[in-house]
Amino acid sequence: MKDAAKVVAITGASSGIGEATARRLAADGHHVFLGARRTDRLDALTRVITAAGGSAAYRRLDVTVAADMESFVTAARERFGRVDVMVNNAGVMPLSPLHALRVDEWDRTIDVNVRGVLYGIAAALPVMRAQGGGHFVNIASVGAYEVSPTAAVYCASKFAVRALSEGLRQESRGGDIRVTLVSPGVTESELADGIGDPDAREAMKAYRAVALPASAIAAAIAHAVSQPPEVDVNEITVRPSASAR
Ligand code: NDP
């Protein structure tokens, strides 16, 4: 084990970056508590991690339901005694041009990507403050820094995650709460599978041709989590070296 064992709650742990983060942090010796809606995936991942000697448990979680998030964090604390790190990772990306008026998808993007992160903060912050410290790792995107066609709502949601993370960081000085914003470029996952708009879906094929493995983002998260208490890694952006975006 490289680091002192921490209790790490991870939202959206059933695929992609969340799954890779669970595998990596468990391999580093941490206790991982996994949340998502697809519990069959969480169950399988928990079995793989524990079979390899790691420490993992899971609970079904819909991040758009505040009470669900509260129960998720409570369950993590009951299972492992505390919550040291909250990885607000769950996200959706149903891209489309604004004129397509896919309003339901706008709502879902805001509900998962923004409200989900806020609910994660609401559930974990009191626990961390009561136990004398904690660490939020919020997953944004390169879309938290720049906007492109079909991605206005998604980028707005990720700009919001960046603003929330910075606000939380500023309010937490002296309070032993660390905040890390991790912004991936294109990364292998199931994220683009949720694009319903046919034009946006087609455009994404070229855009996503060069992609990082999800383990690269997990490694960035592991770096931030492994820092000593006096070191607060605030922002990490990770892009494929072969891509300008
Ligand atoms: P995936 O689609 O593979 O994973 C998304 C995860 O979010 C799944 O585990 C899914 O679980 C979960 N999720 C979605 N909706 C909900 C919900 N309502 N409640 C709980 N969990 C939910 O994509 P990624 O791994 O790529 O996405 C992870 C994060 O990385 C997202 O925030 C995304 O925006 C960000 N990102 C990804 C990039 C990429 O290129 N892959 C680039 C930049 C940022 P389930 O469906 O089982 O609930």
CATH number at residue 28: 3.40.50.720
Distance 44 CA to ligand 1 centre (A): 18
Q: Which amino acid is at 82?
A: R
Percent of the chain past pLDDT 90, that is, above it, reads 91
Q: Does the CB atom of residue 120 touch ligand 1 within 6 A?
A: no
* Residue 147 token pair: 């906007």
CA angle at 156 for the pair 154 and 161, rounded to the nearest 5° = 95
Give the mutation target among 11, 15, 111, 137 for probing the ligand 1 site: most ligand atoms within 8 A of CB. 15
Q: Cα(11)–Cα(233) distance, rounded to whole angstroms?
A: 20
Does any domain span residue 179?
yes
Give residue 81's region: left, alpha or beta (phi > 0; psi -120 to 50): left
Q: Does the CB atom of residue 39 touch ligand 1 within 6 A?
A: no
Does any domain span residue 27?
yes
Q: Does the CB atom of residue 94 touch ligand 1 within 6 A?
A: no
Annotated catalytic residue within 58, 145, 154, 207: 154
* pLDDT tops 60 at residue 1: no
Other CB atoms within 10 Å distance of the CB of residue 184: 25
Q: Cα(187)–Cα(208) distance, rounded to whole angstroms?
A: 8
Distance 92 CA to ligand 1 centre (A): 5
Q: Does the CB atom of residue 161 touch ligand 1 within 6 A?
A: no
Respond yes or no: is residue 119 known to be catalytic.
no
* Residue 121 token pair: 């903060």
Q: Which of 41, 46, 40 is nearest to 15 (CA)?
A: 41
Which one is predicted more confidently, 129 or 244? 129
Does any domain span residue 38?
yes
* Residue 243 token pair: 């891509």
54: pLDDT confidence band, cut at 50, 70 and 90? very high
For atom 6 of ligand 1, the residue with the nearest CA is: 12
Does any domain span residue 204?
yes
What mean pLDDT is predicted for residues 31-56?
98
113-170: pLDDT as tens digits? 999 999 999 999 999 999 999 999 999 999 999 999 999 999 999 999 999 999 999 9
Q: What is the domain count for the chain?
A: 1
Distance 242 CA to ligand 1 centre (A): 23
* pLDDT tops 60 at residue 3: no
Which one is predicted more confidently, 205 or 166? 166
Range of the domain at 232: 7-238
Which alpha helices (H) appear in 28-115, and where do they start and end? Answer: 39-51, 66-80, 103-109
For atom 18 of ligand 1, the residue with the nearest CA is: 62
Does any domain span residue 231?
yes
